[in-house]
Structure 1
């Protein structure tokens, strides 16, 4: 019994072998193409929405707001409701958390991958999905999180080290790149008057700073996150490519 528990923790917290440098580069290309190719993006974007709404929820809880629920929709949109003061730092940070969350999660993942903690990364993803599931308030949201969590768990439990590495790196690259595109989509919709209550517009109402400033803020943070994530992963491919 004790040996089994020890083996489990060793597997969870231990470092996996260094992945081939080519794998890191190919998964980066796969993540970029998944974000760039519209038919793939329309499906895969759901993972970004999960991170986006999770960001709203996390910042709401960290600032003392009461989380009322999260909805994930079939069209990859989402909604996170919290109660508390309608203005002030708590509401501001809650609104800020959405568009920057996918890229920041990607940076965290890149940091773990930089230390070859692939299994730990996958299990943390499962744990976060389960915590988020508690607050989901619609059927599609439940199905989306259960299916996503089941896939991640299956890879972490049964897949080989090589498959785990490919899955983890592709997921991290996708979140890094996937945090950028929604910002451009946000501004395109705003320009056509189709998102008058966007996060950026709500921030503008609270802070009296133009919404375009907040769109630019989202973009800068996410681009810096891509650069930081690439830097953290650089050591994984440079030794094999020089």
Structure 2
């Protein structure tokens, strides 16, 4: 059994603030994330993290709006599917569909808020808990492996890595979620314009509301860009302060 002192140490580790990261680290991790998002092969691999956040967004909002979650599937081509039961129309279904494309940058914004308070270890542990919670709803082998590998990497970094490595990992991941949430919206509209995604989230929303699919694509983009700007300000707050600028 863990002692009181041990519990206190764990509490301090989780909720204590780490030192400010070097400004160069913040900028380098932003550049690394931008390169990953902008290049084909790294994006093809790392996009699985965006899919996890996308489907997790659908699942969470489905539960919050009273729908019954049937399961989540993650595929090797970085696509995914979240199935829920309930009314096929109405606010619950609309919000569930809306949540997918905006989830990655909003998760990134939450991560940026934690990093803005230097809660690096807490951010990593929250990520592990969320991945484990999502794991119980996965209904295919690739999805299970994908979440287990992702969770194991995050847990290993949070438990064994030095504070500097933890900071680099956390900042890169948050920058990636913020930047990586924008590209899928661009890809969505490109595929829609070619008639290759007739059942996209935007098209399903168009069928449930008076607004056309392009309206929803624009809304996805606006939310994601606002989250990116807000997250970037949080992540670079100490740099701006040192430069004599205020938010």
Q: TM over 0.5: same fold? A: yes
Residue of structure 2 equivalent to 1:203 = 205
Q: Aligned residue for 2:97? A: 95
Q: Determine the C-alpha separation between the residues in 2 that align with 1:240 and 1:144.
A: 40
2:12 aligned to which of 3, 7, 10 = 10
- Is the CA contact 1:106–1:229 (under 8 Å) kept in the aligned structure 2? yes
Which residue of structure 2 aligns with residue 63 of structure 1? 65
For residues 180 and 77 of structure 2, what CA distance do their matches in structure 1 show?
16
Aligned CA RMSD, in angstroms, stands at 0.9
Q: Which of 113, 116, 127 is residue 114 of structure 1 equivalent to? A: 116
Contact 1:110 1:232 in 2 (8 A): yes
- Asked whether 1:166 is paired with 2:198, we answer no
- Tell me how far 1:17 sits from its aligned partner: 0.9
CA distance in 2, matches of 1:132, 1:18: 31
**Cα displacement (A) at 1:237:** 2.4
Structure 1 moving runs of 4+ over 4 Å: 239-242
Counterpart of 1:175? 177
1:239 shift after superposition: 4.7
Q: CA separation in 1, counterparts of 2:76 and 2:231?
A: 29
The alignment covers a number of residue pairs equal to: 242
Alignment of 1:1-242 (within 5 A): 1-239=3-241
CA contact under 8 A between 1:71 and 1:137: conserved in structure 2? yes
TM-score, normalised on structure 1? 0.98
Residue 235 (structure 1) shift = 1.6
Quote how far apart the aligned CAs of 1:241 are. Answer: 5.5
Q: CA deviation at 1:139?
A: 0.1
CA distance in structure 1 between the aligned counterparts of 2:124 and 2:214, rounded to whole angstroms: 36
- In the alignment, the residues of structure 2 paired with residue 241 and residue 172 of structure 1 have an alpha-carbon distance, to the nearest angstrom, of 23
Unaligned runs of 5+ in 1: none
CA–CA distance in 1 between the matches of 2:151 and 2:223?
27
Alignment deviations for residues 126-150 of structure 1 (CA, whole Å, 9 cap, x no partner): 0000000000000000000000000
Relative to the length of structure 2, the TM-score reads 0.96
